[in-house]
Each structure stands twice: as C-alpha cells, then as structure tokens.
Structure 1
Amino acid sequence: MVKQSINFDRSNLPQSVFNVKTVKQLECKAIDTLGITMYELMLRAGQACYELARAQWPEARHWLIACGHGNNGGDGYVIARLAQAAGINITLLSCNSSSNLVNQEANMARNAWLSAGGMIYDPDIIWPENIDLIIDALLGTGINRAPIAPYNHIINMINAHCAPVLAVDIPSGLMANNGITPGVAVIANHTLSILALKPGQLIGKARDYVGVLHYHDLGLAILLTNIKAPIIRYSEQDLVRWIKPRRSSMHKGDNGRLLLIGGDLGTAGAIRMTAEAALRSGAGLVYVLTHENNVTPILTARPELMVDILNEKLLKKALAWADVIGIGPGLGQRKWGQKALKIVSGNKNKKPMIWDADALNWLARNHDNRQNRIITPHIGEAARLLNVSISEIENDLIYSAKTLAQRYGGVIVLKGAGTVIVSETGNVVIIDVGNAGMATAGMGDILSGIIASFLSQKLKLIEAAYAGCVVHGATADAVCHQRGMRGMLATDLLKLMWQFVNPETRDH
C-alpha cells in the first residue's frame, strides 16, 4: 500500500549529512563533552518524535507503536509513555517482549513504560480495528541486512494498514548509509531524522519509503557546527551560491560561446533540447553541429541557435571558436559520431567539457582521465563505465561515484533519485530536488544543456554541476506543482526554468 506524502519544501533540513558510524561518534562526543547520558539522548529523541506526531496528526487517538530490540525501540517506549500520559490509547508491540533489550538505555525506557502502567504485546497479536497512527520504532539505522522474523512480519502488517506511519529516524528495512532495501521496508508518510541526516534518507530507494523528511538535532547543534560533514546536501535554497545577478553592461560574448555536438539521424530532438536548455539557462552563443538532415528542423524550431553540419573541417574550426564543449546527446554509435568523439577526445586544449549519453558509451570503451570534463551517467551508464552490474552501482551510489571520479577524472554527476556529485578530490554532494516525473525521455539532455550553459558563463566545473542539477530538479518540482508528475515532458522544464536561473525573480 502506497502511503507516501510528497513534500518539495525541505528548506528546514540541514546541509550536513553523516554516515551511521559518524553519528555514533557524535553521540559519544555529546556524552563526553557535554555530560549528556545516552538515556537523556533517548528521552530527547522520544520527545521530538512524540511532538512531531501530535503536530502532524492531532486528531489521532489510538497509536500503534512497534518497538525493536535496540535504541530505536527504546525511543518507541519513550514515545508510548508520553502519549499515554496525554490520554492517547497505545497498543505497543515488542519483538522482545520477555527478554532484555540490546542496550541498557532501551531497557530503562521499557521499564519506565511498564512502571507507568503500559502494556507490551507480542508481535503476532490481532491488531485493534481503530488504529489511526502507527509509529515505526523497529530497526533504526544500525541494520545491514534484510529484516527477519518477526520484524519482516510486522513491517508487512504496517504497510498493509491504512493508518499513516511515522518512522523514527529511518523507515525500518531501509539502509541508512546507502538507501537500499535488501528485504521489506516500512513505507512511511513522515520520517524524523534524529541528530543528523543520513545518506540513505536521501539517495537510492529513499524516496519510496521516507515520505516527508523532518529533522531534530536533540539540542546538540553546537556539536554539529564544529564538525566537517563528509557529505553535503544541496537544494533550491543554495542557488544563490553560484548564480549571481548579471552586470547591466553584459553582452552575449560575456556569457560564453558554447559548442554542442550530437543528433544523428532520428535523434535531432536530443541535441535540440540540450541546445535550447543552454539558451534558457543563460548561454550567450550556442553553436550546434549535427547531422545534415537535422539542420533545418532545429533552426526552424529555435532560430536563436547557430546550427551547421557535423564534419571534420567544421568541427575543428568550432573547437577553436568555443569556450565550452558539450558532446553526446543523440550522437549515436555509428562511425559518424565515433569520429567526432575521437577528434574531441584528441583535442589538446583545456577547455571545459561535458560528456553525456552516447559519449559515455564511447568512453566506456576508450578510457581516459581528464580534469576539464564533467560526465553525467545514469546508473546503467555508470555500470558500463565501471564494467560492473547495475545492482553493484545501486548498492553503493556514493562509492560508485567516487570510483568513477578516480578512474575518469573531473566531475561525476551520477544521476538518480538523489543525484550524487563527486569531484576527483572526493568531495560528495547529494542534490535533494526533483521528482519521479523526471523519469522520461529527454531529461538528461536538458540537464546537459543547463550544465554546459553554466560552464559557458564562467562557473567552475564543480559549481556548474551543482547549479545545473539543482536548477534541473527544482524546475521539475515547479512543473509537478502545476501539473503533476505523470505526463511531464522534458521540454516542460524549458517554460519554467527562468524562475531558477534569475536571482532577481527567484523569490517571486
């Protein structure tokens, strides 16, 4: 049963993202430096979850709370005690109803629940009919394999129920470091991330399970400000970092000369979308080299472009003219496109480039390492570039992006639901915009055009990748607000992109 809630406003979430090991270290640091006990942290986490539940579902009068054997379960016992004290009817299921829990703090929370008159039920009971809220406090962030009995049984029961679900820290069964689901996982309406955001809440399958993501620092913000996060989350609010207002005296030459190469027979649309996206995001001059049959249709559709036939003479001349080079959309795998790639690949200058689509298929067979290039693979292309299976890429997107950066150099944009960007220095960024409406033909061509345009406007490679991906996803979210996800076309983004590439209009 799909229970998800769609939320495009994530402005209240922090930028810093930490893996599970680092979060554990943060907890230990709080204990050592601030004199806070682990049980106090558990009480704070339970309080935060209880308050969020009351705020989101104020009319809910009968909560079912599913508790596991660790600290996540301890949080659940705290939530139960607070809710019962407020007059809410609680049905609490425990996977360890008669034995000690893993941690002392979780045992303390359970004993406090029992001392307050709370009841604990076995996981195989028949659920009451009037449950109107479910709290998932089963497994938390510590698991690294598929849930087993009785956890998988409870997760299936939660997903089959019609009541909304709040997940404590992360939906049970979703891996906190990579966002994969090796077995069943709770489909939550809302998730409260505790102390820090984790990668698995943002990438991989996260959006299928997390619902609306919330965050609480448990009063430990002072600790987080002094620690450099290994992963950064960027969203629409960050566009001001890279896209500045234009000088009044600017002319088209100030905004770059961009050469785009692609569009074999039957794929004129790909290079045309890339080129128009480049214009719509601010490139000064865009010159397209394509198959001769595509020249007239592209010029007719978008007369602001310069379009010519792709041949060796014109390509070499254009490479000398351009400030930035983009190659791949619609290029195909025939000798015609292969020759163009060989010429571009052999080019000795250090001009910034973006390679996408068919250029990546060529690169997978002809490895090279360049510092002046952005590549934008989706998961299938990444698998070919690394000569591994798609599942290996999906199982660790961050590691895969880092490996791509080491092998091919420059900047890697590993596209997906939670795009991962990595430079050869190893800095990791997750782009936290976009929606499932983007799962349609041409979206990658639009992205290539936006990134290439920002390169032509003098952004550094890594900045153009960040800004391009955020503009791309934020525009798709704006389209979704207007018209929904299903039936979204890549060209729909061209009509709304101005909202995000113009600082003077972005807030209006």
Structure 2
Amino acid sequence: MTLTNLLTEQAELILAHKIVSSEQVRTIEPKAAQIAGCSMFELMQRAGEAAFKALKQAWPNAMNIIVVAGNGNNAGDGYVLAKLAKQQGINVVVICEKPERELIGDAKQAQLEWQQQGGETQQFAELDYTQFDVVVDALLGTGVTGEVKPAFQAVIQQINRANIPVLSIDLPSGMFANTGQALPLCIDADVTITFIATKPGLVSGIGKEFCGKLIFADLGVGKEFFDIARSRAQLVDWSMLQSLQSRPVHGHKGSFGKLLCIGGNQGMAGAIRLSAEAALRCGVGLVKVYCHESSSISISAGRPEIMLTHKELEAALDWCSCIVVGPGLGQDNWAHQQFSSLFEYLKHHPKPLVIDADGLNLLAAMKDKAAVQNTLARLPALVLTPHPGEASRLLNCNIAKIESDRYLSSQHIAQKYQSVCVLKGAGTIIQMQELHQVRGCFVCKGGNPGMATAGMGDLLTGVVGAFLAQGFTSQKAAVYGVCAHAEAGDRVAIQYGQRGMIASDLLQPLRAIVNGL
C-alpha cells in the first residue's frame, strides 16, 4: 500500500496535495531552482508576484495595504509584493523592526529594489491598522521553531486585534510549519499563500484555522522539487479517489459483507443506530446490532433493515464478516463484559475490526498490554478512529500533547496498536501502519465546522466499517470512509449551511456519494 495507489492519475499529479516538511523545503528548494535554471532571487520575485496576485484576487478593491516585514527571506517576498503594488498605484506602507538594517542575501536585493522604487520603510509602532484594507504578513517564515521574540509577538497581537483582512506569505507568522502550533502566538490569517510544497502544519488541527484559505504556488520549480523531495503525506478528498467498482449483477446480500455493530448501552441507542444506518447507506449487504436489551426498540424503530440481538454475542460474532465496536458502548460493567468477550473471541477468530468511542477508552484501559497487542496483530484489518481526547487515553498523555503534533500522535497510535489510525478533527489524519513500519499518511481536505456535532463520529465509524465489510483493506476503508463522510458533510453545508447540521442529515448524501452521484 502506497500513498498514491488509491488516487486517480490526475490527483497524483497535483503538486499542491503533496505535504513536505519545512526542513526538506529549505534544503531542496535551492537544488530544484538550480535544476530548473532559476536563481534564488528570481524565485523570490516569483513568490512576491504570486502573493500579489493572491492579494488582488482576494481583495480586488484594496488600495491601501501595509506590509509587515521581518528580517529574512519572507521579508524579501514582502518587499517584492510592496514594489509591485506601488507600481500599480496602490498606497503601500512597509514596517519592520529596524528600517536602517540591511537584509542579507536575496532579501537584501528585494529590499534595495523597494527603496529604488521610492518606497519607505517605517519602524514597528502602535499603528491604526484599520486605516488599511489589507495587512500583508511577511514577518516570519518556515525557519522559526522556537518561541517568537517579544517584539514580533507584539506585532502579531496588534494585527490580530485589528480585525482587518490578512494575507500571510508562505505561512502565518508565529506558526511552527510542521505542526501548525503557535510559538506561542500566531497570525490569524484570512488567506495564506504557500510556496514550493504544502507544509504539514497548514492543513490539520489549529494550523488549518490559522491559515484561513490556503493557496499553493510551486513557483515554476515544482516538478524539479518533487523529483528530489520525499512527500510526508498526501492531501485527499473524495473527488481525488478512484471510482468504486460496479457491483456484480449476480451478487446477493451476502456478497457485500455482514457487519456486526456492538454498542448501544442503556440510554445510548442513537450512537450505534447511526453507525448501523450509515453502513447500510454505504452498501453493506447485512447489518446486525448487538446492544443492551433496553436499547432494542430505539434502534429498530423506523429502520427495519437493521437486525438486532442482545443475547449470545458469540453467535453474532460467528455470523459476521466484520465488526464495529464502541458507539454508545459506555464503560460500565455491561460494556466491560462485552468488550472483554469480543477480545477473547478475536484471539481465536481474527476478523476485520473498527474501534471507536468507548471502545477506544476500554482498549486503553486494558491491563495486559502484551496480550492486547498480540490479538490486534493477528487481525486481518484494524482501524482506530479516535478524537483527540480518546487519542490522549490511547497514548496515556494529555490532549494538548496530542494536538501539539497530530502527525506524530497518529503515527504513535498506528505503531502502538498495529492499526490504521484515523485522528479526527480539522484536517483528519489517516495514518498508515503495516508490519511495524508506518507507510505514510493522508490528510483529508474536506469537512467543515458544521460537522462538530453529536453523532458525527458514530456515523464515520459505520462508513469505515461498511467499506471494510465489503472487502477493502484497512487503509483503503479508512481513506474512502473519511473522504465520503467529509464530502457528505460539505454537501449538506452547501445546501443548508453549517449551523444546525445533524449527523443523520448525511445519510442521504452518503448514498449518492458511494453511487458516484
């Protein structure tokens, strides 16, 4: 399983979707430019031009802009933009820490050309930013890894308080490019234009919020860069995936999987009902729910296609070809009993498994870690779908630690539990693992804040389980499941808006999506 064999050929060629660490970009960028016959100063000019084009597209009527420049190459990009804006009759103010300081390297040349254009540079000060139409953030680039110095923190605070549009160049200043974390403050941009390659921190977690709308420009050296660079991850959405195969004409309900969903403790029938119904809408032939006796009526009401049982778990496990466990399971004695019985069964009868919600909490709490890992290692497919809170329990740390590096956290879960890990959130990460070696990951482009509501995770569990039950590998089931779920949420948001979206709204769009509609 590789990062690209799930994608269409066209999707594989889109450089904007390839995620590369900031260290690789800094190291390989000069080599790529040299191969392409482009000087580093010409590359800086292209960056400034691309940023100016992005500014004009986003704010075509902007006539007063302020460029906040730092001391490195990011500032050079800003000076190029300022020169271009001034040439087009836009009022431009450039501010920096020390106007008398000469920059070095290519940034010095960009600074000199700005000055030769008649441009002036002022010192950082308490400005009334509201007199400008747009702030151009050219303060800090990808080289920042430690805490931003106080003078720059003060400027970042002023910009964020000003409440006017911000264009960030390469990444929002104050962000750690590889994780998206603030150091400790970060520009809250409306638009970010990033160059050469997409950095990991821009597309997942809090970093995705900081950067606003993300624009990519390869500056004409993308092919040369990716001939050398090693992509860390791949952005993906439903439109990029290979189409689902047609179903055989002679197929029957048994041909398309038998999924058992375990959960639905007292008072929590809705969670497992959502998982089961989502699985049906995504094409599983047969779905059975094993639940607490008190939940039976609530689960079956209005959906007679869902089979039910609350007795003889082992018989239900014998019946199924794939298992989902966790939604609405709880953590009381009944839940512990079902989860323990499931693991005892899997020791002798390995089957594809998706674990979510309280299933993850119970997994984290199991005492005999060696026995657990031995059982999990024998499963033909395993997908864990934690949100950051559940991930923190799986790794025995706090949520802040998980969110400080979502890529590393998902990698650790995939390795520890010998699974595919779906770390949910803005820019959900699908981390691959096989034979103790992480093979790479996908980051979902889709989804929206309207999906932050009860039951969405339970729905996703059913979607992933559906693909797994129909014979997909754990990697493919996770990628297709996450992308189909996100696409459904985005379709609902387009039609009705984000506020008020509920999980069951996604059921009909899911059906259309898996049918290529």
Aligning the two structures, in what range does the TM-score lie when normalised by the shorter sequence? over 0.9
Q: Which residue matches 1:41?
A: 43
Matches within 5 A, 1:157-168: 157-168=158-169
**Partners in 2 of 1:150 and 1:182 — Cα distance?**
13
**For 2:405 and 2:95, how far apart are their aligned partners in 1?**
33
Q: Secondary structure at the match of 2:150?
A: coil
* 1:407 pairs with one of 411, 416, 423: 416
Does structure 2 conserve the Cα–Cα contact (< 8 Å) formed by 1:354 and 1:374? yes
What's the secondary structure of 2:115's corresponding residue?
Answer: helix
Within a 5 Å distance, the mapping from 1:154-193 to structure 2 comes to 154-193=155-194
In the alignment, is residue 387 of structure 1 matched against residue 396 of structure 2? yes
Which residue among 444, 450, 456 is the counterpart of 1:431? Answer: 444
8 Å CA contact 1:169, 1:191 repeated in 2: yes
The answer on whether the counterparts of 2:384 and 2:420 sit within 8 Å (CA) in structure 1 is yes
Question: 2:259 aligns to what SS in structure 1?
Answer: strand
Shift of 1:462: 0.5
Distance 2:33 2:225 in 1: 14
| Cα pair 1:281 1:450 within 8 Å, conserved | yes
Shift of 1:25: 2.2
1: CA distance, partners of 2:130 / 2:236: 42
Partner of 2:113: 112
1:284 aligned partner = 285
For the residues of structure 1 that align with 2:326 and 2:301, how far apart are their CA atoms?
Answer: 22
In structure 1, C-alpha distance between the alignment counterparts of 2:64 and 2:21, rounded to whole Å: 34
Q: Residues 270 and 298 of structure 2 are in contact (CA less than 8 Å); yes or no, is this contact kept in structure 1?
A: no
CA distance in 2, matches of 1:47, 1:140: 17
Distance 1:285 1:274 in 2: 13
| TM-aligned CA distance change 1:295 to 1:62, over 3 Å | same
* Contact 1:177/1:198 (8 A) holds in 2: yes
State the match for 2:4 in structure 1. Answer: none
- What is the CA distance between 1:24 and its match in structure 2? 1.1
The C-alpha deviation readout for 1:197-217, integer Å capped at 9, x for no partner, is 011110120232211111100
Structure 1 residue 461 corresponds to structure 2 residue 474 = yes
For 1:263, give the aligned amino acid. Answer: G
Find out whether 1:365 has 2:338 as its counterpart.
no
Show structure 1 runs of 4+ deviating over 4 A: none
Report matched runs for 1:410-489 at 5 Å.
Answer: 410-424=419-433, 425-426=437-438, 427-489=440-502
1:341 and 2:350 matched: no
- Equivalent position of 2:308 in the other structure: 307
RMSD of Structure 2 on Structure 1 (CA): 1.7
Aligned to 1:325: 323
Q: Distance in 1 between matches of 2:356 and 2:129?
A: 54
TM-score (norm 2): 0.91
> Which residue is equivalent to 1:218?
219
Mapped to 1, the partners of 2:297 and 2:329 lie a distance apart of: 17
CA contact (8 A) 1:245 1:502 kept: no
Change in CA separation of 1:220 and 1:277 when aligned onto 2, cut-off 3 Å: same
Residue of structure 2 in register with 1:257 after alignment? 258
**1:90 aligns to what SS in structure 2?**
strand
Preserved contact between residue 68 and residue 96 of structure 1 (Cα < 8 Å): no
8 Å CA contact retained: 1:68, 1:139: yes
CA distance 1:104–1:224, shift in 2 (3 Å) = closer
Contact 1:13 1:214 (8 Å CA) reproduced:
no
Distance of 1:129 and 1:437 partners within structure 2 = 31
Secondary structure of residue in 1 paired with 2:442: strand
In structure 1, give the amino acid aligned to 2:98.
N
The CA distance in 2 between the partners of 1:175 and 1:150, in whole Å, is 18
- Helix, strand or coil for the counterpart of 1:44? helix
Q: Quote the offset at 1:410 in angstroms.
A: 1.6
Change (3 A) 1:304 1:130: same
Give the secondary-structure state (helix, strand or coil) at the position aligned to 1:250: coil
Letter in 1 for 2:182: T
Please give the residue correspondences for 1:22-171 in structure 2 after superposition, counting only pairs within 5 Å. 22-101=24-103, 103-124=104-125, 126-127=127-128, 130-171=131-172
- Residue 385 of structure 1 deviates from its aligned partner by 0.8
- Per the TM alignment, residue 162 of structure 1 is displaced from its structure 2 partner at its CA by 4.2
CA contact (8 A) 2:384 2:422 kept: yes
The residue type paired with residue 105 of structure 1 is D
Q: Aligned in 2, Cα 1:92/1:385: closer, same or farther, shift over 3 Å?
A: same
Structure 1 unmatched ranges of 5 or more: 1-10
Tell me which amino acid in the other structure corresponds to 1:473: A
Deviation at 1:193, TM superposition (A): 1.1
Alignment-mate amino acid for residue 72 of structure 2: G
Asked if residue 275 in structure 1 is aligned to residue 273 in structure 2, the reply is: no
Q: One-letter code of the match for 1:406?
A: Q
- The aligned length equals 489
What secondary structure does 1:135 align onto?
strand
* In 1, Cα distance between equivalents of 2:330 and 2:58: 51
Matched to 1:140, the amino acid is G
> 1:288: how far off?
0.6
Q: Secondary structure at the match of 2:242?
A: helix
1:115 deviates by 1.3
Shift in Å at residue 394 of structure 1? 0.9
SS of alignment partner, residue 46 of structure 1: helix
- Counterpart amino acid of residue 119 in structure 2: G
Distance in structure 2 (CA, Å) of the matches to 1:391 and 1:431: 21
2-structure distance, mates of 1:128, 1:340: 60
Work out whether 1:350 is the aligned partner of 2:314: no
Aligned to 1:374: 383
Q: CA deviation at 1:297?
A: 2.3
Q: Distance in 2 between matches of 1:180 and 1:66?
A: 21
3-state secondary structure, aligned to 1:317 = helix
| Equivalent residue, structure 1, for 2:314 | 316
User: Is the partner of 1:63 in helix, strand or coil?
Assistant: strand
User: What is the CA-CA distance between 1:470 and the residue it aligns to?
Assistant: 0.7
1:166–1:191 CA contact under 8 A, matched in 2: yes
Aligned-pair distance for 1:418?
A: 1.0
Identity of aligned residues (%): 38
Mapped partners of 2:129, 2:208: distance in 1: 29
